[in-house]
Structure 1
Amino acid sequence: MKALHPSFRIDPFVPTTIAVHLPRTLLGCAVALAVFGPSCAAAAEESAWFEDLPTVLTVSRLEQPINEAPGAVTVIDGDYIRATGYRDLSRVFRLVPGMQVGQERGSTSWVTYHGLSNNFPSEMQVLIDGRSVYSPSAFGGVDWAALPLSIDEIERIEVVRGTNSVTYGANAFLGVINIITKHSAQEPVNRVTANAGNSDIADVRATGDGHIGATSLRANVSYLSDSGFEDINDSRRVALLSVRADTRLSRSDELMLRVGGSRAKEGLGYPDSLLDSNKERTSSTYEYVVHAKWVHAPSTGNEWSVNYYHNQERVTDEWMSLALPPLVPRASYVPLNRNRRATRDHLEVQNRFEPRSSMQLVWGAEARRDRVNADFLYASGDPEPSDLLRAFGSLEWHFARHWRTNVGAAWERYSSEPTHFAPRAFVNWDVADRQTVRAGYARAWQQRPTFEKQGDVVAIDPQTGTLLVHPYLPNRDLRQPRVDSYELGYVGHYRTWQSSLDVRIFDERIKGFLIRVPVFAQPWPVLEPYIGSAQYVNYGADVHLRGIEYQFRARPWRGADWSFTHTLIDRNSGDPNIDDRTAPYSASLSWRQDWGRGWSTTLTGLRMGPLAGGDGFVPIYPYVAPAYTTYDARIAWSGRMRGRKVEVSLNAINLGPRHQEIADRSQQAADARLGDTGPANTVSPMVYLGLVLEL
């Protein structure tokens, strides 16, 4: 594949490269269906054609068949996730069109939609059963390794590909990931899962079910351990426990309660970072959650819900740096840390009802408070609590036999920001049986992490009181970025091969995008020539992303499940350093095959274009990780031994040449000063055996 060149465009919408390749791709799919479909389909099961289309909840908070939703959405069911054999949930999103995922090290994942983000992606809302797990702590983002969630709990994941702040607030700036867990009474089973392999992989997971009167319970406990990739300090030890309880209070009332906690120890840093500013060390993360949801459904088509959750995150990440002459007059040990603690309390009330047979409506309101404590990261004092008040509503109206419209809006106000109004309007047209075209527009305003506005980091020589560095300066004049998104989409399901095609053509214009720029700190730090000062500012021009993404899935013969995704993005901001934060192309191909007699395989290939992946800590340094191709594979056998269901598997990820996915720009800068232009970090293959035993 070739990266898109900014000069090759057609107005007003998509790049010429996209316009050339899309017809060829779609034509190829159509020819394959026409020529090979009849013979292969005869061997395939056609019952899926007559089944109802998947129902999604995340796009508008309304229950809708996937072709009626006001936006593009990808559904990944729990069985498919477990069939990949992945130990890390974040890796699954590589199979979603438009998603750009990478690892700077084995213990951390960078998950974005259409790239653009900084070191801790915050342009996507990430939910578990509607509860936001986006961290309000210093840097924002999601710590995928420390989530108090086991893969065994997941029923399905709905990924909304496109702006959706109307439904889930300002962090849904470019998209939403909603992880939906199983009801505790669903598929009762007691199971133990274990993995062991190279890189000191040693995992164990267990799930158990039970009842106490009218209450069903499900508990999950897991421990994940490995030494990470080669030649980098990225070992991890993650332990978690989660319990979900569901109680039927009456014929119309149900209460869900979920509590969970995790503890993660992760290797960070490099042995030769500049002035030990990112020294090798081990960080500790503790996360806790209490989530309660009451649902009252007095009649068909009418449902009330009250949703409350409390999240807490505590991170200990500290080390001692060493500044030596001639940079400073005498050797100085300087304590540094990124210690932080954050809590979030959220209350939401929602009502869904049907005002008439052709309409369904949802409306609601929510209030949230975030608190952050991080003495070192906020030298001028911890920020005040951040409050959110928000009201939202969405209406679906089938105004004609083959036409429907979805309109929605949200009003929201943050404690220190102006009040914003975010609208959305879509029209869906059923052009044929199980084939729908949609078109729409949405606007969103983004709440940035507290640190980007108020972060104030200084390092002082404890012996003399001398200001050594001031790498982060606050900027209280930051404005919330805004995106205006236009979309044209197509969803088609076909009898031949039980196949489907999902296409999204998009035009996203972002105003006020945040970037880090060098500034002159006053007073002047001693080490300013080596570790400069910077702050976040609003970029003066629009950041414009436009392109196409699509996914083709098919079952051309019995037991086969093929999925191909492809994304092309034209980036145009006027600044190549911003453009480089989005890969111009990506593609994935996955083949899952049930061979019979208990044997199955899963093969996946991923191609990712060049990607900068964040902005680095210190200093500011432009760097782009080159394009790469990587492969994952799994072979498994399942059956029964002594009456118990058992599965044995061999799993491998990152097959093929070692490559760099996301760079630590600060380390790249340090290496460059020494004349080393190679990648500072690379991923390496990991191979492990898996065992699943039902008790």
Structure 2
Amino acid sequence: MRRLPRLPLLLLAATCAACEAHAGDDPYFEELPQVLSASRMPQALNEAPGAVTVIDRELIAATGYRDLARLLRLVPGMQVGQERGHAQWVTYHGLSNDFPTEMQVLIDGRSVITPSAFGGVDWSALPLTLDEIDRIEVVRGTNASGFGANAFLGVINIITRDSAEDQGTRVTVRAGDDRLADAEARWSGGSGPLTLRMNAASRHDQGFRGLHDTLNRETLALRGDLQVSPQDAVLLRIAATDARRGEGYADSVFGNNAPRTTDSRDHTLHLQWQHTPGADSEWLVNYYRNHERIRDAWFASAPPFFPAVPLDRNRSSMRDDLEVQHRLAPHDDLHFVWGAEARRDEVDAPFLFYDGNPDPQNLFRLFGNVEWRVRETLSFNAGGAQEKYSGAPSTFSPRLFANWQASPTDTLRAGYARAYRQQIPFELFGDIRAIDPASGAVLVRPFLPNPDLGQTRIDSLELGYLGRFPSLHMTLDVRLFSERIRDFIVRVPQPDPTPAPLLSSFLGSTRYENLDSPVMVRGLEYQLVAQPRVGTELRLAHTLLAPRSHQSAIEDRSAPYTASLSWLQDWAPGWKSMLSVLRIGSLAGGDGYVPRFRYLSRPYTTVDANLSHTTRVGRHDVQFALTALNLGPRHQEIADRTEQAASGGTKPVNRANRIVYATATFGFD
């Protein structure tokens, strides 16, 4: 068991006590963003029920990143790694399996957690471009009362810009190491009640060196905003991504993960109606359809007897979702939001479900939240959600928070929340059988179904502090937490089924089961943002974790610490830079199963840098940027444990490498 280091809480208390009574006259004191994702109601950051990190457009641009998931490395508690250039493993506090589903991920309120077999988020195939994003709100803590079971540990809410903003045309080209070549274009226009924006992007690279790791992706997105009346507005967003990716390893055992090229297509239609009859009343109706299709097939072999065995992870899914939300404020000190959601998921993956695709999965949910300001300095937030999934018992997820404004610059918060993790179809019904096409014999059966699998439950307690220090132009956000997880899901070896597969001695059977003892995660995380002088910003995010379980392999799924330190500088005129140092402890990264084999990627430190210059050429804005990622020695982030075991388990088989690229952006009015 890992132990949490002793923490400088006395120093924290002293910092809290150092507030300034008359800080309200300082402009910096007012600079607290409004957030929507903590309770589904607009709230100042110091009034939100829980810790929230906001990544705005300026920070996104300053990083020079071309990957959405890489931005999340700057958020306290987030654990992000790459098994290869296009395969992102993103979770909060670790613990997750190979396809993390414990964070609800939304785009304009639309969930992008895929229902297709394994679950999770396909970060490199999302139908979204970074140029569309206005801000990202990351709720660091359980929030199922607001956003359902996938908000088991928190919420990543990606909010896109209104199409009326930044009208005109913008073109970006990018080139760099490993045949990196990107092109993006955006047009936004219209006037009066209707405005439109279209984004198109093409991305190409070779990924990690030494791997079959190509990525070729095209994305097209259209957003329209129609102001029907002073009280009514309609949003329509249609987007699609087509991605072709290199997968596999040339020396995988029996070719069970042979090199191949997969094709994935992701389409979405999102329609939203907003009705605002008054300043303190709003109705929202959201409907969306997500369609995902992945083609991933190859041949394995066990010569000389089984020369060509077909394998595939082909899968497709369809999700239809309808949600109604009503926000109202019957009194200045009392605010409500309530709503209902209905969802239907369909999955088609014949090879992954040998006995037939699972029945469509339906979700029905009622949710609500109330904010009661007892006095000017004290408020309570209480919420809950009642959910019913197909084949699972109905569950209730409550949440209660108290916020105390101890002074004009200091906020203390305390809260409790419960959530139930949504069950994944593959964990319940997955049944894979590799069959010799010549004889019809079952060679291996690595996954067995477990339809009796119970829902995982978390009970989370947290204490928080948000302090603002105007004389230092500094904000400090601290979260101290204890998370108790029951019925945690693990992959467990099973006796060979009858009749036993021919190659069961090489690869036995497993299935997902609930752990019979709780998993505890305790820790501290904090975020510090300082502006020591004009044009300079420093951002520090640091997390210390102490996971505890009677199975040490589960503890290995969480890195004991993560940290990022970023220096942003506006050099003027037109020159800007950002330098980030990223550090993460040892991490297993999922539950990839190989009998009697454990592997941890070693701790590593890496550095990212971006330098940009913006000027005008005639009537046009022009920006040039030079970006470098993974400066320093090559390192491994997330291992493919099957491949790692086959190589002897000592030398990393998939190390991340340095990437340098140049970007040019041209704006046309």
Normalised to the residue count of structure 1, the TM-score between the two structures is 0.93
Matching of residues 180-329 of structure 1 within 5 Å: 180-211=159-190, 214-325=193-304
Q: Check 1:300–1:29 CA distance in 2 against 1; reply closer, same or farther (3 A cut).
A: closer
Residue pair 1:619, 1:669 contacting (<8 A) in 2 also = no
Which deviations, in whole Å up to 9, do the C-alpha atoms of 1:9-65 show, x marking residues without a partner?
Answer: xxxxxx3x143x45457879999x99xxxxxx9xxxx96424352100001101100
Q: Check 1:584–1:430 CA distance in 2 against 1; reply closer, same or farther (3 A cut).
A: same
Which deviations, in whole Å up to 9, do the C-alpha atoms of 1:623-647 show, x marking residues without a partner?
Answer: 1111100000111111111221111
Q: Establish whether residue 414 from structure 1 lines up as the match of residue 389 from structure 2.
A: yes
Q: Establish whether residue 623 from structure 1 lines up as the match of residue 596 from structure 2.
A: no
Q: Establish whether residue 123 from structure 1 lines up as the match of residue 96 from structure 2.
A: no
Paired residue for 1:500, among 475, 497, 508? 475
Paired with 1:413 and 1:25, the residues of 2 have a C-alpha distance of 42
* SS of corresponding position for 1:171: helix
Paired with 2:191 and 2:201, the residues of 1 have a C-alpha distance of 23
Residue pair 1:619, 1:666 contacting (<8 A) in 2 also = no
Q: Check 1:28–1:437 CA distance in 2 against 1; reply closer, same or farther (3 A cut).
A: closer
Q: Check 1:154–1:526 CA distance in 2 against 1; reply closer, same or farther (3 A cut).
A: same
Q: Establish whether residue 637 from structure 1 lines up as the match of residue 613 from structure 2.
A: yes
Which deviations, in whole Å up to 9, do the C-alpha atoms of 1:221-280 show, x marking residues without a partner?
Answer: 000110011111111011000000000011100000000000011111000111111001
Paired with 1:178 and 1:113, the residues of 2 have a C-alpha distance of 14
Q: Establish whether residue 669 from structure 1 lines up as the match of residue 645 from structure 2.
A: yes
Residue pair 1:471, 1:618 contacting (<8 A) in 2 also = no
Paired with 1:439 and 1:515, the residues of 2 have a C-alpha distance of 31
Q: Which amino acid aligns with 2:273?
A: W
Q: Establish whether residue 525 from structure 1 lines up as the match of residue 498 from structure 2.
A: no
Residue pair 1:471, 1:533 contacting (<8 A) in 2 also = yes
Paired residue for 2:60, among 81, 85, 90? 81
Q: Check 1:694–1:83 CA distance in 2 against 1; reply closer, same or farther (3 A cut).
A: same
* SS of corresponding position for 1:249: strand
2:458 paired residue number:
483
1:60 paired residue number:
39
1:579 paired residue number:
555
Q: Check 1:341–1:481 CA distance in 2 against 1; reply closer, same or farther (3 A cut).
A: same
Paired with 1:30 and 1:200, the residues of 2 have a C-alpha distance of 54
Q: Check 1:337–1:406 CA distance in 2 against 1; reply closer, same or farther (3 A cut).
A: same
The Cα shift of 1:528 comes to: 1.0
What is the RMSD of the two structures over their aligned residues, measured on CA atoms? 1.7
Paired with 2:395 and 2:15, the residues of 1 have a C-alpha distance of 45
Q: Which amino acid aligns with 1:281?
A: R
Which deviations, in whole Å up to 9, do the C-alpha atoms of 1:423-445 show, x marking residues without a partner?
Answer: 10010000111310000100000
Residue pair 2:336, 2:370 contacting (<8 A) in 1 also = yes
1:349 paired residue number:
324
Paired residue for 1:387, among 354, 359, 362? 362
1:437 paired residue number:
412
Q: Which amino acid aligns with 1:651?
A: T
Paired with 1:136 and 1:121, the residues of 2 have a C-alpha distance of 12
Which deviations, in whole Å up to 9, do the C-alpha atoms of 1:75-107 show, x marking residues without a partner?
Answer: 000121111000101000000000000001001
Residue pair 2:317, 2:345 contacting (<8 A) in 1 also = yes
Q: Which amino acid aligns with 2:473?
A: Q
**Which one is further off, 613-622 or 249-258?**
613-622
Q: Which amino acid aligns with 2:193?
A: A
* SS of corresponding position for 2:554: helix
The Cα shift of 1:161 comes to: 0.3
Paired with 1:202 and 1:629, the residues of 2 have a C-alpha distance of 27
Q: Which amino acid aligns with 1:379?
A: Y
Q: Which amino acid aligns with 1:448?
A: Q
Q: Check 1:443–1:178 CA distance in 2 against 1; reply closer, same or farther (3 A cut).
A: same
Q: Check 1:50–1:418 CA distance in 2 against 1; reply closer, same or farther (3 A cut).
A: same
User: Which sections of structure 1, spanning at least 5 residues, go unmatched?
Assistant: 9-14, 35-40
Paired with 2:594 and 2:236, the residues of 1 have a C-alpha distance of 43
1:374 paired residue number:
349
Paired with 2:175 and 2:532, the residues of 1 have a C-alpha distance of 34
* SS of corresponding position for 1:190: strand
1:659 paired residue number:
635
Q: Check 1:642–1:362 CA distance in 2 against 1; reply closer, same or farther (3 A cut).
A: same
Q: Which amino acid aligns with 2:70?
A: R
Paired with 1:406 and 1:51, the residues of 2 have a C-alpha distance of 23
Paired with 2:542 and 2:212, the residues of 1 have a C-alpha distance of 33
The Cα shift of 1:213 comes to: 5.8
Q: Establish whether residue 472 from structure 1 lines up as the match of residue 447 from structure 2.
A: yes
Residue pair 2:226, 2:233 contacting (<8 A) in 1 also = yes
* Number of residue pairs aligned between Structure 1 and Structure 2: 664
Q: Establish whether residue 599 from structure 1 lines up as the match of residue 578 from structure 2.
A: no
Q: Check 1:619–1:192 CA distance in 2 against 1; reply closer, same or farther (3 A cut).
A: farther
Paired with 2:619 and 2:320, the residues of 1 have a C-alpha distance of 47
